[in-house]
């Protein structure tokens, strides 16, 4: 039954895998019929929907994500089997996927069990375009993870200068992580003189 229900997915690859796994001899034609039924008439398994949406987001398939949200009316924050939303597992180098999910109401500040937000992930991987999309849709860059780190701290440690330059004016430069280090201390620990200079300049400007 679960395999048949999954056949309503807009992703044809998911449909084919689903049909191959049916244990009751259901034919591919039967699966096509299930796929063509109105989604309003189907009872979808929540984790199955989240898995399909998350898989499309993870491979950066903008069209598949859009179809699932628009044609099949999936909720953008549907959880996959690991308790993650599509925004949390998306390919970070795909700002288009981020835009589609956020335009359909995905929570830009969703946190995982470690307190990590999509903004933390974008800062860690260095994808500035995706980070801009997140911020433009309401993502806060001042939400710490459970270690106390802001996205700015993560970007400094990873050496993403362009991301640091973008985040620094938006971030609370006085915020200290769990080790008691603020952004400037993190930059000094990372031995990143250009970032130290940038942060010192911003701090001097804000103090006047």
Q: What is the pLDDT of residues 8-43, one digit of tens each?
A: 333 333 333 333 333 344 444 444 444 444 443 333
Residues lower than pLDDT 70 in the chain: 1-50, 207-208
Q: What is the structure's pLDDT at 207?
A: 66
Centroid of chain to Cα 176 = 25
Give the burial string for 35-55 (b: 16+ CB within 10 Å, else e).
Answer: beeeeeebebeebbbbbbbbb
Domains of the chain: 1-107 (1.25.40), 108-208 (1.25.40.20)
Q: What is the pLDDT of residues 146-171, one digit of tens each?
A: 999 999 999 999 999 999 999 999 99
> Can you state the angle between helices 151-158 and 118-125, rounded to 10 degrees?
20
Residue 74, class by beta-carbon neighbours within 10 Å (0-12 exposed, 13-18 middle, 19+ buried)?
A: buried
Q: What is the structure's pLDDT at 72?
A: 87
Q: How far apart are CA 208 and CA 200, in angstroms?
A: 13
């Amino acid at each position: 039954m679960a395999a048949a229900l999954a056949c309503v997915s807009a992703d044809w690859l998911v449909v084919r895998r689903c049909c191959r796994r049916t244990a009751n001899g259901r034919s591919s034609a039967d699966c096509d019929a299930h796929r063509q039924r109105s989604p309003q008439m189907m009872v979808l398994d929540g984790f199955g929907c989240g898995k399909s949406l998350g898989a499309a987001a993870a491979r950066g398939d903008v069209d598949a994500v859009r179809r699932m949200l628009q044609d099949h009316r999936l909720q953008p924050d549907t959880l996959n089997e690991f308790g993650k939303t599509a925004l949390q597992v998306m390919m970070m180098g795909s700002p288009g996927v981020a835009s589609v999910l956020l335009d359909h109401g995905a929570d830009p500040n969703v946190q995982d069990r470690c307190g990590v937000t999509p903004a933390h992930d974008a800062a860690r991987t260095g994808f500035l375009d995706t980070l801009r999309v997140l911020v433009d849709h309401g993502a806060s860059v001042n939400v710490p993870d459970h270690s106390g780190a802001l996205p700015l701290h993560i970007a400094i440690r990873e050496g993403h200068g362009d991301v640091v330059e973008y985040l620094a004016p938006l971030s609370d430069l006085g915020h200290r992580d769990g080790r008691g280090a603020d952004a400037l201390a993190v930059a000094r620990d990372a031995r990143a003189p250009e970032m130290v200079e940038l942060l010192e300049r911003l701090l001097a400007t804000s103090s006047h």
